[in-house]
Amino acid sequence: MKRLINLTPPPASKLFLGLLPFALLLLLYVVASDARLAENANDKLLPAFSQMGAAIERMALEPSKRTGEYLFWQDTASSLKRLALGVLIAAAIGLALGLFTGALPLVHAGVSPLLTVVSLIPPLAILPVLFILFGLGEASKVILIAIGITPFIARDLQRRTQEIPSEQLVKAQTLGANTSQIMVRVLLPQLMPKLIDAVRLSLGAGWLFLIAAEAIAATDGLGYRIFLVRRYMSMDVILPYVAWITLLAFLFDWLLATLSRRLFPWNAQGAH
Amino acid sequence: MKKFSALLLSSLLLSSGAQAQDSFKLCWSIYVGWMPWAYGAEQGIVKKWADKYGIDIEVVQINDYIESINQYTAGEFDACTMTNMDALTIPAAGGVDSTALIVGDFSNGNDGIVLKGKEQLADIKGQNVNLVELSVSHYLLARALDSVGLSEADVQVVNTSDADLVAAYSTSDVTAVATWNPLLSEISQQPNSTVVFNSAQIPGEIIDLLVINTDTLAAHPELGKALTGAWYDIMATMSSDSEEGVAARSYMAEASGTDLAGYQAQLAATKMFYTPAAALELTNSAQLKQTMQYVAEFSFDHGLLGDGAPDASFIGVQMPAGDYGDSGNVKFRFDPTYMQMAADDQL
């Protein structure tokens, strides 16, 4: 039937259609950048790709004049350390909270309402409080990330635990399993792939909190650098940094998805 | 998509360069020395002078200081309030030829360095110093360290947003800050705190200006006349002891979020140039040349002049006392012409 709804692009043009918007955006940028640079060779708003390349070369391949560090890698390492710590803490606490509140009605009754309320507090709004409690150093940045995404992971895993069919729990009990055996042998394995899914979904928010924390007080980090060079409108540094953050975020998402498929193939099969 | 991209493209292109119509935009942000623009716009003084020269001037308040300079540099505004250092490092380094049309005041204690539990500037050695990096606070710190034979390598600078500086100061791991008013007075009033260095010790180096696009000014001298005329009109009212003067200062105090007493205290730490003659004295002085050299050297050391800059004198600064830096690449000018017209009553 020749209806639009039935038309699917052949594989080759599917790739082409997917790349087209990217190409158009790039072209639009190059044209606009050239136009501005033709008028003012020092224009900072839309730097040419060669200028961005030079800026990144300067920051990634040459030691800084002031500190002797390779700023780009230093920023990346600091930010990733903060993000990884924050996400790991959030995943561990989120898993424990989700498992216990999902599996044990007694814990659920006691903790769940509090968890719901806490998850509604916007973490950035309590940032000044975090500063006073944990200082301006690394701790408050990691804690902001952890506080920001733990409730999401915990509530998601709580729901996933409750979704596991009760027949499984009954069966395990008829086979003689006690509570801790059911939690460790029946529930936990099924929750692990869900945990990876939840972490994947919360990574975006994790980056947001990381950059917000670094913008406020820091001596290095990807967010720090962006907010620092904003002071003199260095788009030739900001734009590559944004692209780098996007690439890192994409890589983590892809890594976690692959990890999940490798470790829990039965889960991936069930999802199709 | 085509229409959209054409629209986007034209807006990106149009935002650059001088505008040809006789309608102009000025931006300002909250600061003791720039509040007169709020008053002038509110009271119709700016409009009165714009009408006199047959043009239209829109006065826009921007809540974020750096954003206002970026907007000016991108071509959204014809004139904007900023300090001499920011004028050199943002528009001038970005290739936007800019002119200091009005030299409004200089910081005379409005910027300072506060230590917690220590009373000597030299005690700052080895401490973390929280400040807005690459701002005039950072410049003040560099000049202060210089005065006691220290360098930036002797301290660890921690970039801290000005909005969070006061809250940060109340935590135990913040022991030294460099900042400006009204944050400075808030912080120095906390127990166990001492202002160990302030801008009164480097008078005339942190200068607050009205900066205008040089090409726009050349094409529309009437804009320069209208702005300068309006400014000294406001200054005359503001500096008077009359009821009108008190009302003007009260208005400025309220618009900057404080009361009359608080605003007067900030004014006391600011050397306002109420008359064009006073502003001309600094503008024409040889000291200004020395100041701009300090500022250019600081800016170059911190990479603020861009990667194309081989040394501090890469960007030329034109001053009545002579040029600093590369005369073939003048991007920042102190132009006394219009202030002189005001002094000669020719506006």
pLDDT for B58-114, tens place per residue?
Answer: 999 998 888 899 999 999 999 999 999 999 999 999 889 999 999 999 999 999 999
Q: How far is CA B345 from CA A146, B229, B276, in A?
A: 64, 9, 10
For B172, the closest chain A residue by CA position comes to: A135
Give the angle subtended at the CA of A207 by the CAs of A201 and A213, to the nearest 5°.
140
> Which of B307, B326, B332 is the best substitution to test chain A (most A C-beta atoms within 10 A)?
B307
Are B103 and B86 spatial neighbours (Cβ–Cβ below 8 Å)?
Answer: no
Q: What's the rounded Cα separation, in Å, for the pair A239 and A226? A: 9
Count of alpha carbons within 13 Å of B138, Cβ hemisphere only? 23
- Identify the weakest region by mean pLDDT among A124-128, B29-33, B275-279: A124-128
* 3-state SS assignment for residue A266: helix
Q: What's the rounded Cα separation, in Å, for the pair B342 and B226? A: 10
From the list A58, A135, A224, the residue facing B159 with the nearest CB is A224
Going by C-beta distance under 8 Å and a sequence separation of 6 or more, which residues neighbour residue B258?
B182, B266
A228 and B152 within 8 Å at the Cβ level: the answer is no
B16 and A39 within 8 Å at the Cβ level: the answer is yes
Instruction: Tell me what percent of the residues of chain A surpass a pLDDT of 90.
Output: 69
Distance from the A7 Cα atom to the nearest Cα atom in chain B, whole angstroms: 22
pLDDT at residue B316 greater than cutoff 50: yes
For A231, the closest chain B residue by CA position comes to: B66
Chain B CB contacts of A132 under 8 Å are 167, 170-171
The per-residue pLDDT for A8 is: 87
Calculate the CA A186 to chain-centre distance: 29
DSSP state of A184: I
Go through chain B and tell me how many residues it has: 347
The size of the A-B interface in CB pairs under 8 A is 110
pLDDT at residue B319 greater than cutoff 70: yes
Q: What's the rounded Cα separation, in Å, for the pair A267 and A193? A: 7
A228 and B9 within 8 Å at the Cβ level: the answer is no
Distance from the B244 Cα atom to the nearest Cα atom in chain A, whole angstroms: 38
Q: What's the rounded Cα separation, in Å, for the pair B95 and B72? A: 12
- What average pLDDT does the segment B123-143 reach? 93
Q: The dihedral of CA B41, B44, B49, B55: what is its sign? A: positive
Q: What's the rounded Cα separation, in Å, for the pair B178 and B170? A: 14
B73 and A36 within 8 Å at the Cβ level: the answer is no
pLDDT at residue B308 greater than cutoff 80: no
pLDDT at residue B126 greater than cutoff 60: yes
The per-residue pLDDT for A11 is: 85
The per-residue pLDDT for B103 is: 96
The per-residue pLDDT for B258 is: 87
- What average pLDDT does the segment B121-138 reach? 93
> Which of B1, B12, B134 is the best substitution to test chain A (most A C-beta atoms within 10 A)?
B12
For B329, the closest chain A residue by CA position comes to: A42
pLDDT at residue B6 greater than cutoff 60: no
Chain A CB contacts of B173 under 8 Å are 135-137
